[in-house]
Copies of this chain bind each other. A is one copy, B any other.
Amino acid sequence: MDEPTGKVTLANAEEYCPGISLDCVIFGFHEGSLKVLLNKFTTYSKWMLPGGFIYKEEDVDDAAARTLVSRTGLANVYLRQFYLFGDVKRTSITENEDLMVRQGFGLEEKHISEWFLQRFFSIGYYAFVEYGKATLQSNIDENVTWFDLNDIPPLYADHNCIIEKAISNIRSQLNSIPIGYELLPEKFTLTQLRIIYETILGEKLDRRNFQRKILSAGLVCKLDEVYKKWGQKSSALYSFDKQKYKDAIKNGIPVF
């Protein structure tokens, strides 16, 4: 999975740490809703989270970043490890056999059970990327697409649970992580920002109170420009104050 444009192969399985993988819940924001990036091997029926393996001489965080680059072309994104999924039954052998046989990974026969049918731990990461900047790296073997967060199909293994856990994790930290900066374009409206919060929290927020709260945090500043949407009153555009944003990240300033 380290070859963005080439065929997926595990013939080089010896280069990876055995029994451990990582899965990324990659969030984007587009047309008023949160999206999650999923991929599917063309020969296999189920969608799955973009994942990867870890080179024997590679830090886990680096492996996650590499996975993200290979699917979106984006480097230096907001990426956080949030949980290790380690139950024995989180993957099923029959499901993995199915996946493997259909996909025909470049494994010699004797390596199949040693590698792909073994028990796997998976390290969960979540990422925030700017939807418009991601260049999805689909190819003949692998299809990469955004899914609306409210419209996720049944996924491979425990990947639905991984998404759930990512969201509950983000939710519990929503007061201390400045969400929005990585998800939104440079210029955005407060309604867009509010929808992100509402989606994560799973509840409606009062428009006016939200506005006051966000502005009082001081991380975003109003621009002179306005956003014009057909059929509505034009709304003010805002931008993140990059310096204050970085301070908030570094010093853990509560932002909401």
Contacts and interface: CB of A to CB of B under 8 A. Distances in A.
Nearest to A90: B59
B123 A84 contact: yes
Contacts of A17: 19, 119, 121
A5 interface: no
Interface stretch (A37-45, A50-58, A185-193, A227-235): A50-58
Interface string A76-104: 00000101101110000000000000000
Interface residues of A, number: 23
User: What's the number of copies of this chain in the assembled complex?
Assistant: 2
A121 B87 contact: no
A173 B61 CA distance: 23
B54 A86 contact: yes
Contacts of A119: 17, 56-57
Contacts of A84: 60, 81, 84, 123
A248 to B, nearest CB: 14
Interface string A106-150: 000000000000010101000000000000000000000000000
A236 interface: no
A200 interface: no
15 contacts: A17-B19, A17-B121, A19-B19, A20-B20, A56-B119, A58-B88, A59-B86, A59-B87, A60-B86, A60-B87, A61-B87, A81-B86, A84-B84, A86-B123, A121-B121
Given A19-B20, A54-B86, 18 more contacts: A17-B19, A17-B119, A18-B18, A18-B19, A19-B19, A20-B121, A57-B88, A57-B119, A59-B87, A59-B88, A60-B84, A60-B86, A60-B121, A61-B86, A81-B84, A84-B123, A121-B121, A172-B173
